[in-house]
Structure 1
Amino acid sequence: MPVVNRIADYAADMAEWRQHLHTIPELEFDCHQTAAFVAERLREFGVDELHEGIAQTGIVAIINGQGDGPTIGLRADMDALPIVEETGVEYASKNPGKMHACGHDGHTTMLLGAARYLAETRNFRGRVALLFQPAEEEGGGADIMVKEGVMDRFDIAQVYALHNAPGFAEGAFYTTPGPIMAAVDTFDIHIQGVGGHGAMPHETRDPVMAACGIAQAIQTIVSRNHYALDDLVISVTQIHTGTVNNVIPDTAYLNGTVRTFDPAVQQMVMTRLEEIVQGQAASYGVTATLDYVVGYPATVNDSDKTGFAAEVAREVAGADRVIANSGREMGAEDFSYMLQERPGAYLFLGQGDGPGLHHPKYNFNDEVAPVGASFFARIVEKAQPLT
């Protein structure tokens, strides 16, 4: 079964919704305009329950099927990124310095498309809970929704989500059982030295050299402290220090990201970072502090639910357009918090060639919205069939 015919019928409406959402990007939990638009559409569709203000601007909508049964959860993220848009499209961002550079406008649209179809047909048992979530990019909106009790309050038994994938075949799917995306942590290192004249370094305790030494030593954690087959990424992404060319500064600052799948590897990184920071600081005669912030956990797909989701994806896209064991990626996703609470699966939906995610010229491909909406709709009908 390809794209659901009824969903294909309102593909133009979905493109209109998505392009409108693209004009009003909002950050983190401040998704008020977006949530208002979503709520208005859901009321038009005739959902049975509409719960607003979850995790500040999140929404849970309930659609009842025919007869008793469990509740299946479908999630879409709504927030944008602090990026200046360079797409040149007529529906470009109207909010300066903000844009939908990750396709969350498309994710929201695909779930709205599924909501319209499911509310109209109700060809399933039990209920579907539509989870429209703020603050995926920053803030952990999924974590907040879970902590506010959405899984228990709405008795959700399993949960699914999609993410678009630039550079992957348009309308094709890929996923994998078990870990699919990494845990993401951040670290900040503050160095205190003694500044002075650039011509008299012997009278200083140079934080610039210490920052360089720490940054280089951090790379030995990957190359020398962990088993080569355990996925690990540590990237120093910022070094800030100094003002002019003839002054050695007092301070320096480093920042970076850590991506892991195994909690034991994560703990090893935390230990070694502290040892390296303190050891390097001592060797340069400066002091340094490490602030390590544990972020989103690894996104771990349930094996059975992933197999089921891949079957549904094959019905929608074709058997040769689904990769069910794609391997894992080092990016991160706060859908991980929902998967910690309930079994489910996270899949990628290809949107063809074009600029990648988080690029100022990225734009969601409206042609794949009916494919994603059909996947969401069919996963409900297949998981909770009437007969």
Structure 2
Amino acid sequence: MMTIIEQISPFLDELKAIRQDIHRHPELGLEENRTAGIVAGKLREWGIEVVEGIGQTGVVGIVKGSRPGQRMIGLRADMDALPIAEKTGLPYASQNPGIMHACGHDGHTTMLLGAARHLAANRDFAGTAVLIFQPAEEGRGGARAMVRDGLFERFPCDAIYGLHNRPGMPIGEFAMRPGVVTANCDRWGVTFHGTGGHGGSTPHVATDVTVVAGHFLLAVQSIVSRNIAARETAVLSVGFVQAGAAESPNVMPSELTVRGVTRTFDTAVRETIRTRLEALAQSLAEAHGCRAEVEYWQTGYAVINGEEPAAAARAAAVALVGEDKVAGSLPPSTGGEDFAEMMHVVPGCMASIGNGADGAELAPRLHTPVFDFNDEAMPYGVAYWVGVVTQELGS
């Protein structure tokens, strides 16, 4: 019998063209109208039932097997790009200034489209494959939007699966593990309020938010080292500071805003960070005659792979590339993944697929201006998705 990769090889060039077209026309989260239109159009072209507009720009394709079966599994790919100016110099580089596919979602979408095409023509399975094309993975809440829009009420999946490319991992290799895969993701913001004033003539009669912020920026870096046990994992980073106007350096600002992120695996650790952030902001502001407003909100759950879905995902990968090319012990990442919002409702597994390495150097990192999804990974991703359907619905 022909392997899945051999079966899909006649339309790989078409898939690469689709991927590069999506790359050329990137769209931010909840604005993926063109991309969603391509997805829906291709699914219909291949005879697949389509539902659009779930979670605003999300698309769902439904492929029913030819054999009787009630089990339903979801396969999910993300569609959005990032607000980064591309510097790859590729012939299909982004034509949308300041936006690019710097995380490989163009490849994720296309791999699932390839699986959709194959499954539509080869329905010898029992049950239903639900193909979930999700918007807004990059911080705009696309998975949560789809869930709130009734995704799993309309398509009650027994398990769901996600796949993300991994730079530095060789082409044709996979990784997945049961248990924690990515971290809880939170964002926080503090706005300090003071009187402001003239920085040249009367700073002594003003309350200075920049002094408060200076102490605060140093103090928050002690939270992980001094309030969290060394055996725990936690990250706290500042990513935004804003106050005043560049053209008026003689004006002491009356407001200053600091924003950042935290990543944790443990709920108690998360709560410690939240309470210490607030305590430091309030006490330092008070000490300098200022006032602090503190915000802290959750942007994503930790991805925790279920035992059974992880086993099914591993079996699909091993059947495709062999035991030696499937890693099962990668350490958890402090990165975030919006797929966790779906896994909070339905058990599932997030796996990694190799995006290639460049000799002794790792391939360009995710979220950088020079990243590009490696089209050589495409057939392995398509075949993996088909293998997951075979594992879950093949008998």
**TM-score of the pair, normalised by structure 2:** 0.94
Deviation string for 1:23-79 (max 9, x for gaps)?
Answer: 1111111111111111111112111x2111111111111111122221111000111
Deviation string for 1:269-304 (max 9, x for gaps)?
Answer: 211111111111112221111111221111111122
- What corresponds to 2:62 in structure 1? 62
- What corresponds to 2:153 in structure 1? 152
- What corresponds to 1:8 in structure 2? 9
- What corresponds to 2:27 in structure 1? 26
Superposition misfits of 4+ residues, deviation over 4 angstroms: none
Asked whether the equivalents of residues 182 and 302 of structure 2 are also in contact (C-alpha less than 8 Å), the reply is yes
Corresponding position: 1:35 with 2:44: no
Asked whether the equivalents of residues 31 and 57 of structure 1 are also in contact (C-alpha less than 8 Å), the reply is yes
Deviation string for 1:340-362 (max 9, x for gaps)?
Answer: 11111001111113321111111
Deviates more, 1:7-16 or 1:269-278: 7-16
- What corresponds to 1:273 in structure 2? 277
Supply the distance in 2 between the matched residues of 1:340 and 1:10 (Cα, whole angstroms): 35
Supply the distance in 2 between the matched residues of 1:331 and 1:256 (Cα, whole angstroms): 14
Asked whether the equivalents of residues 139 and 299 of structure 2 are also in contact (C-alpha less than 8 Å), the reply is no
Deviates more, 1:2-11 or 1:115-124: 2-11
Supply the distance in 1 between the matched residues of 2:98 and 2:237 (Cα, whole angstroms): 26
Supply the distance in 1 between the matched residues of 2:266 and 2:330 (Cα, whole angstroms): 19
Supply the distance in 2 between the matched residues of 1:123 and 1:366 (Cα, whole angstroms): 28
| Stretches of structure 1 lacking an aligned partner (at least 5 in a row) | none
- What corresponds to 1:329 in structure 2? 333
Matches within 5 A, 1:139-178: 139-178=140-179
Deviates more, 1:304-313 or 1:179-188: 304-313
- What corresponds to 1:106 in structure 2? 107
Asked whether the equivalents of residues 55 and 148 of structure 2 are also in contact (C-alpha less than 8 Å), the reply is no
Aligned with 1:10: secondary structure?
Answer: helix
Q: In percent, how many aligned pairs have the same letter?
A: 43
Asked whether the equivalents of residues 55 and 142 of structure 2 are also in contact (C-alpha less than 8 Å), the reply is yes
- What corresponds to 1:296 in structure 2? 300
- What corresponds to 1:361 in structure 2? 370
Asked whether the equivalents of residues 29 and 135 of structure 1 are also in contact (C-alpha less than 8 Å), the reply is yes
Supply the distance in 2 between the matched residues of 1:41 and 1:186 (Cα, whole angstroms): 37
Supply the distance in 1 between the matched residues of 2:158 and 2:181 (Cα, whole angstroms): 21
Asked whether the equivalents of residues 22 and 92 of structure 1 are also in contact (C-alpha less than 8 Å), the reply is yes
2:232 to 221, 230, 233: 230
Shift of 1:3: 5.3
Supply the distance in 2 between the matched residues of 1:89 and 1:3 (Cα, whole angstroms): 30
Asked whether the equivalents of residues 55 and 147 of structure 2 are also in contact (C-alpha less than 8 Å), the reply is no
Shift of 1:111: 0.1
Shift of 1:197: 3.6
Deviates more, 1:215-224 or 1:240-249: 240-249
Over the aligned positions, Cα root-mean-square deviation in angstroms equals: 1.6
Supply the distance in 1 between the matched residues of 2:291 and 2:43 (Cα, whole angstroms): 56
Shift of 1:177: 1.4
2:208 to 206, 209, 213: 206
Q: How many residues align?
A: 385
Asked whether the equivalents of residues 307 and 324 of structure 1 are also in contact (C-alpha less than 8 Å), the reply is no
- What corresponds to 1:52 in structure 2? 52
Supply the distance in 2 between the matched residues of 1:339 and 1:254 (Cα, whole angstroms): 31
